[in-house]
Amino acid sequence: MAATVALDDDRGAIPSPLRAAAATRPLRWERRYARALVVSDVVLTTFALAVVTFLVPHPWTLRVDEAPSDVTIWVVIAAIAIAIWLLLSLSGSRSARVVGVGSQEYRAIVQSTFLAFTTAALVAYVFQLTGLHFVLAFGLCATIGVLVLSRWVWRKWLVAQRKAGRMSNRVLLVGSEESIASTARDLRKTPAAGLYVVGACTSSGRVADHIPGTDIAVSGSVSNVIHALTRVDADTVLITSANELSTETVRSLSWQLEPGQQHLIVAPSLTDIGGPRLHTRPVSGLPLVHVETPRYAGGKLYAKRTFDIFASGALILLLAPVLLVVAAAVKVSSPGGVLFRQERIGLRGEKFSMLKFRSMYIDAEARLEELSKSADRDRGNDILFKMRDDPRVTNVGKVLRRFSLDELPQLFNVFLGDMALVGPRPPLEREVRQYADTVHRRFLVKPGVTGLWQVSGRSDLDWDETVRLDLFYVENWTLTGDLTILLKTVKAVLKSEGAY
């Protein structure tokens, strides 16, 4: 896959007198994309505010301290619009480091828009401008809505470009061969981040054509990183194992990079740590990374439980007709009960009875040992039993599993407190007996009806990937993250990814 990132210069050696001038020119794709976002933000903000102004009742000429004035509604709307445009720029919502991936872009939009409208409301209160409350309330909602939706559409387009190798930073990896291979695999899983690997410089200095196990060409050793940057037309150096490089080497490398045009990224030896838990603080020139330890008690946990109660209760009422239809289909399709109860391990290792609609024949458990020796089972997972065409599954059960309808009774487990809507996969006791010690950390939170494993491939995942996702959730869960997973679950269920 070839990347075609056009730069403003020819990426050759730039004479030192010209470096300062070149540093003021951003990458061409960054500049064009930022300008497109500016135009989009201006047009959509103007449109949303104009529509609200025409549709929401209000006086066209405002009163100040109950007296007529020359201030029209359009003066206020124009001031709000200009404030939003400026705040979106100041907040960095169009920065190349936040577009394409993560929530920072959306958070900046919400905060900028909210600040502009609350400031307008405060000014209206101080000067006693009457008749603005409806315009401000509906204008806030409409503006946030159109801006977030437009950025989401832009992001979809940008991600598609980046998957094709365009509009990305060209990255040269620097470190040990093992860390380079691992980092490259992680970056390729997230093309939306816009970091496209084009070469590598190894700390070992070993001469080779490619990094073992990858198609990444070795461009040299750590001593000739700058020359390698020019040769592979890269604009970003990513140090994959900083502990193998001295502080003097890293500092010298950063000084040799072209200011504003070439970038340095250092990957710490921390993995699977959520962004909200990381805080950087420079002390005497030393960049210290603070990692907050996860918390499993307090207000956040109570908020999660409250959300689970109300959400599961509402879903049970809303899906009651579906539950009845599925129950009837299970009952008439094959002998046996409607519900399947199975003992699972939950919070703090305690056992509970998990509910599912029965999707298998009644002799399913008796046939498990025989099928576990079958050549058709998934050999990529030694602990979880998986079989793509499991003969124990009924015809109705195949449909239920495809759309995860067999999982719906677990809403009652959530309502009663045995499970959460989002959490690690609830394991069987025989699976737990095979766990390594570190895997037991998944019992620090309640198991979930859905989770990162559900939205990342479900049965297509191997055991190591399933564990990694579950432990990542345990260490980094947030209410916002839970809502994101729930939305992604709907998409995963409709696409039937990894469902069997």
pLDDT, residue 312, reads 94
Contact 41, 85 (CB under 8 A): yes
- Taking only the tens place, the pLDDT of each residue in 52-108 is 988 887 666 666 655 555 667 788 889 999 999 999 999 989 988 888 887 889 989
pLDDT, residue 385, reads 58
* Helices of type H across 104-189: 104-126, 133-163, 177-189
- Read off the pLDDT of each residue in 324-345 and give the average, rounded to a whole number: 89
Q: How far apart are CA 21 and CA 128, in angstroms?
A: 50
CB pairs under 8 A, 24+ apart, for 48-51?
48/139, 48/142, 48/143, 48/145, 48/146, 48/147, 49/77, 49/80, 49/81, 49/139, 49/142, 49/143, 50/77, 51/142
| Residue 375 clears pLDDT 60, i.e. is over it | no
pLDDT, residue 344, reads 92
**pLDDT confidence band for 148 (50 / 70 / 90):** very high
- Show the domains of the chain with their CATH numbers: 28-163 (no CATH), 168-269 (3.40.50.720), 299-495 (no CATH)
pTM (2 d.p.): 0.64
Q: How far apart are CA 234 and CA 294, in angstroms?
A: 37
Contact 203, 230 (CB under 8 A): no
pLDDT, residue 386, reads 60
pLDDT, residue 404, reads 84
